[in-house]
Structure 1
Amino acid sequence: MLSIPADAPCEFIKWRLALQRDPRPQQQQSPTMYTLDYTYGMTKPITMDFLNGGTSLEKTGKWAVRKEPGNREIYVLNPDTPETTISFIRLDDNLLHLLDREGKLMIGHGGWSYTLNRK
């Protein structure tokens, strides 16, 4: 999803996602652009930081909201290019959870979480 080389040393990834909406009232806050900044790499021992600062990248583009049965609201990055699409389910106003290519929740564990929290 993030174009990280398969042979890159990577123990964890930090994401920062900014979703922009059209500010004009008549546009009903329609989605416009997103910026996804992420850093990946090896853990710096006894810290929550990256060894040697990690590798930082950025993706930008359009995003959209897709309504699904059961009141599911899916945020889709790059909706016009399926090969680069990244999708999240909106859990509430403060939480998004990453979905896999089949639209299922990505499953984490104590060291990996796929939930993004609003800051």
Structure 2
Amino acid sequence: MHDALRAALTPVLDDVCTTTLALVVEDSDWSDDVNQPSAFLRAPDGTGAGVSVWLPDPELEQRVSVADQVQEQVVESIGGTASNWPICPEHPTTHPMTARAVDGVACWVCPASGTPAARVGSLGSTSAAR
């Protein structure tokens, strides 16, 4: 797996594994573009989706993009009423958080208030707050 993809994927997979389910990463470079290294994520139910980074983007944008892609896979995999991942601490029954860059850091943010709740990669830890 390309180093840039690994760097962007590792923290968000930590969040997923700590809070909801384990995704398996298959080193499958499905993209034909040398500027877009890719892999495949497989959920326990067998469903899967591709994930990739765009190398010309800055590292922070890559991390936010990959967090967004993984979130989509998790929401589809857990489905039903539990599809609110990651849970927004301000609105736990309304919507999940979204990945955004905040002050140079990839964070999980409440989409309604814009309040950062945790760095991507720190969900489930005691130091989740920025």
Of Structure 1 and Structure 2, the greater strand share is in 1
Q: Identify whether the pair has TM-score above 0.5, normalized to the shorter chain.
A: no
TM-score (norm 2): 0.29
Greater Rg by CA = 1
